[in-house]
Structure 1
Amino acid sequence: MNHQAWLAALASELHRHGVDRELAGHVVAEAAAHLHDSGEPPMAVFGNPAAYATDVVRSVGGPAHLPRRTGPGPVRLDVRDVSKRYRRRTVLDRVRLTVRAGEIAAIVGANGSGKSTLLRICAGLASPDSGSVRVHGTFGYCPQDGGTADFLHPDEHFTLVGAGRRLTRAQSRAAGRAQAAVLDWDAATEVQARHLSGGTRQKLNLVLAGLGDPDLLLLDEPYQGFDRGTYLDFWHQVWRWRDAGKAIVVVTHLLNQLDRVDRVLDLTGKADSAGQVDHTGGVDLTGMEANR
């Protein structure tokens, strides 16, 4: 089954389940973007379209029943008028974003719109041409690719990163393996990172980002290469982090559940009926004041 046939079957199954047309469109669009980036056959990535549609339907509304904080906490990330140019091309133009404890901010936009660049600036891995970024508290960063050491096995990664977060070797291994299990991955292996699949390396990156219980998580399309079950596990973990009081910024193509995030920063610069905004703001999807 090719990509188009699989996506058509998914759309049909979502319709059969009574999924709202707009939500179904987001699910199909995100699946299409994921398949385009991975280059893998849809059956290998997501499995049977009927089974994937069922998983999506089950996930809709599930996190709404989790215990929620009464309101947002202190500011964890404050981005003010950040601009960045590469040669003659402006990638970011006076971008603003504020994320508080207990909030998820999604950064969306087309390829090349500056999503990864903005996250790298927030992580201190790149410098803006102008503007400022303030992080209040500790943070973990999950890159879209790279980030692992080829000749270290998972426990060695956990120990190395954990040491920087004041964890003992035993604490690092235990925490890393426990977080890996949430993503349906048994990390108790001595396989070097260079021999792990792309999806498993991304699981390792995501686990490393969460080690040491950081206040802020910066996640750059961390689900690349995940199968359908792990993809849904990832979003459930994000919701759990939010409900535990973490601030999360996640770069994505499109969200299949916009009502499950608190803020959306659209770097395309085009407003739409869902409330997306221009290059300089973030939209609050829970009724709080827009960040401008």
Structure 2
Amino acid sequence: MQVRGLHHAYRRRAVLCGIDLDLPGGVLAGIVGENGTGKSTLLKILSGELRPDHGVVAHDGRFGYCPQDVVLNDALTVRQHLEFFKAAYGLADTQRAEEVMAALRFTDYADTRTGVLSGGTRQKLNLTLALMHDPQVLLLDEPYQGFDWDTYQRFWALAAQLRDSGRSVLVVSHLAYDSERLDVLYRLEAGRLHADDSAHAHTGEGAAV
């Protein structure tokens, strides 16, 4: 993903004031920002939901987006969601989704109606739907909310595996959780991105799932 010169304002209030970002393949990056700093606006622009006043967002290959607000049909089962998105993505099967479900350990919920799932399990499905078409560029907005500790660890192992397979992964959060797991961390302040040295360079020791 390449981002150049993003500007956006709501009436006279400038929110983004020249955002530049490079997210090459094989990088696990993070953006943190407090409420009101423009994080939601930046996410909407990066995901294509909002057009910026100025600037360009470009990416190569398939794009995946896991929004913070889970949008699921409570009347459908987990498996029915997979079949629906399989058709939407034009996939031949749900193999990749099943692999992600196994990694996050919720395969046993395949025939469970979504409306009775816990918040953490709904978030697992949300993440699975974003990954099931094997995107090259992945944008994750607070992807681990509601996860227990084991699932939280499994999420980061999965993120490292994606990075090690050459994917571009961007995790967006309001707090810099586990910044040492990231290759690069940016802080969104006053409408601009600032590199944060609390993230450490990738050592190549990705965890398997």
Name the TM tier (shorter chain): 0.7 to 0.9
| Aligned with 2:118 (options 197, 203, 209) | 197
For residue 79 of structure 2, what is the aligned residue in structure 1? Answer: 155
Would you identify which runs of 4 or more consecutive aligned residues in structure 1 move more than 6 Å?
Answer: none
| Map 1:1-292 → 2, pairs under 5 A | 77-168=1-92, 171-172=93-94, 174-186=95-107, 188-269=109-190, 279-282=192-195, 286=201
Q: Structure 2 stretches of 5 or more lacking a match? A: 203-209
The separation in 1 between residues aligned to 2:146 and 2:11, in whole angstroms, is: 32
The separation in 2 between residues aligned to 1:261 and 1:147, in whole angstroms, is: 27
Of structures 1 and 2, the one with the larger relative CO (CA 8 A, separation 6+) is 2
Q: Structure 2 vs 1, CA of residues 133 and 281 (structure 1 numbering), >3 Å: closer, same or farther?
A: farther
Aligned length: 200
SS of the residue corresponding to residue 161 of structure 1 reads: helix
The separation in 2 between residues aligned to 1:136 and 1:189, in whole angstroms, is: 32
AA in 1 matched with 2:91: L
The one-character-per-residue Cα deviations of 1:89-145 (angstroms, maximum 9, x if unpaired) are 322221111100000110101122222321221111111121111111111110001
Query: What displacement does 1:281 show?
Result: 5.0
The separation in 1 between residues aligned to 2:50 and 2:73, in whole angstroms, is: 20
In percent, how many aligned pairs have the same letter? 42
For residue 5 of structure 1, what is the aligned residue in structure 2? Answer: none
Per residue, is there more strand in 1 or in 2? 2
Q: Structure 1 stretches of 5 or more lacking a match? A: 1-76, 270-277, 288-292
SS of the residue corresponding to residue 163 of structure 2 reads: helix
Is contact 2:5–2:54 with CA below 8 Å preserved after alignment?
A: yes
The separation in 1 between residues aligned to 2:88 and 2:110, in whole angstroms, is: 22
Is contact 1:82–1:132 with CA below 8 Å preserved after alignment?
A: yes
What TM-score does the superposition give when structure 2 sets the normalisation length?
A: 0.86
Query: What displacement does 1:184 show?
Result: 2.0
Work out which of the two has the higher radius of gyration on C-alpha atoms and give 1 or 2.
1
Is contact 1:143–1:222 with CA below 8 Å preserved after alignment?
A: yes
Q: Structure 2 vs 1, CA of residues 194 and 127 (structure 1 numbering), >3 Å: closer, same or farther?
A: farther
CA RMSD of aligned residues (A): 2.2
The separation in 1 between residues aligned to 2:23 and 2:196, in whole angstroms, is: 11
Q: Structure 2 vs 1, CA of residues 248 and 135 (structure 1 numbering), >3 Å: closer, same or farther?
A: same
The one-character-per-residue Cα deviations of 1:212-259 (angstroms, maximum 9, x if unpaired) are 211011100011111111111111111111001110011023334333
For residue 14 of structure 1, what is the aligned residue in structure 2? Answer: none
The separation in 1 between residues aligned to 2:30 and 2:104, in whole angstroms, is: 21
Query: What displacement does 1:165 show?
Result: 2.9
Is contact 1:116–1:220 with CA below 8 Å preserved after alignment?
A: no
Per residue, is there more helix in 1 or in 2? 1
